[in-house]
Amino acid sequence: MALPRPLLLLELLLYSCCFICGIITAATLTISQGDFAGRCMLYGAVRFNVSEFIVVQSSAPSVCYFVSAISVCVAVFCFSSILYFVYTSCLEGEIKRERLWMNMSLIVCGVFLFFLLVTGCILKVGRDRLCDSVVQKENNITKCEEAQGKQWAKPMIGSNFYSRLHSAETAVWVNFFSWIIIVVLVVLQRRWGSEYSSRGEDPGASPSETEPFFNRPGHPQ
């Protein structure tokens, strides 16, 4: 079943956006871990000691690995879908998808939406928990990003910790809302396919015209 090209182009653009967002989230979170000697600073805590910040608590590395893994999986799926669209379009001139394929797409979209929602909440709550320990009256800091200009105990590098965590979180939420639009597009495509199939049958045709020739009365098998 051939689908409307505008909807497919919009879906392709959304897949491209999701691919980029997935790469941004995984890359920024991995770099952030590298700046803190492999520690995951989500839900972490720091303390200002005279002239520099000291990390007093960090999360298990698996927390950051989980967020990065989800982002990479989404990026790989989006990249594969883009290649499929381009290959099919070049080979056949149009993209056709059956109802079963679109049903599977909706299931995949639902799974990705769930995990992106979880990772978005992890990044939001984890970053806020870290910032709560940074913004203290005795530190003379009113905003979390101000700590990026302070000295951090070596080998920690905190010059861009807030910016990277904020970028990772933003990319996840953009990814999440892009998948919501993709779900809407797939539903519209299923509905369009159903209407197209119903219009494909001629309602004015008589039963004798629509009945197979070899099954007509008077024609022995």
pLDDT of residue 93: 60
Q: How far apart are CA 28 and CA 167, in angstroms?
A: 7
Q: Is residue 19 part of a domain?
A: yes
Q: Is residue 212 part of a domain?
A: no
**Tens digits of per-residue pLDDT, 50-99?**
788 889 999 999 999 999 999 999 999 999 989 988 887 777 666 666 67
Q: Residue holding tokens 């927390």? A: 63
Q: Residue holding tokens 């996840």? A: 172
Residues of the chain with pLDDT under 70: 1-4, 92-98, 137-139, 192-221
pLDDT of residue 60: 92
Q: How far apart are CA 81 and CA 94, in angstroms?
A: 15
Q: Is residue 202 part of a domain?
A: no
Query: How many domains is the chain partitioned into structurally?
Result: 1
pLDDT of residue 111: 95
- The values of phi and psi at residue 217, to 5°, are -60, 145
Q: How far apart are CA 192 and CA 146, in angstroms?
A: 52
pLDDT of residue 78: 94
Q: How far apart are CA 218 and CA 170, in angstroms?
A: 71
Domain range enclosing 150:
5-193
Q: Is residue 221 part of a domain?
A: no
Q: Residue holding tokens 């105990």? A: 153
Q: Is residue 69 part of a domain?
A: yes
Q: Is residue 138 part of a domain?
A: yes
pLDDT of residue 130: 92
Q: Is residue 16 part of a domain?
A: yes
pLDDT of residue 61: 92
142: its two tokens: 């009113």
207: its two tokens: 């039963």
- Of 180, 60, 190, the residue nearest 126 (C-alpha): 60
- Of 179, 192, 152, the residue nearest 37 (C-alpha): 152
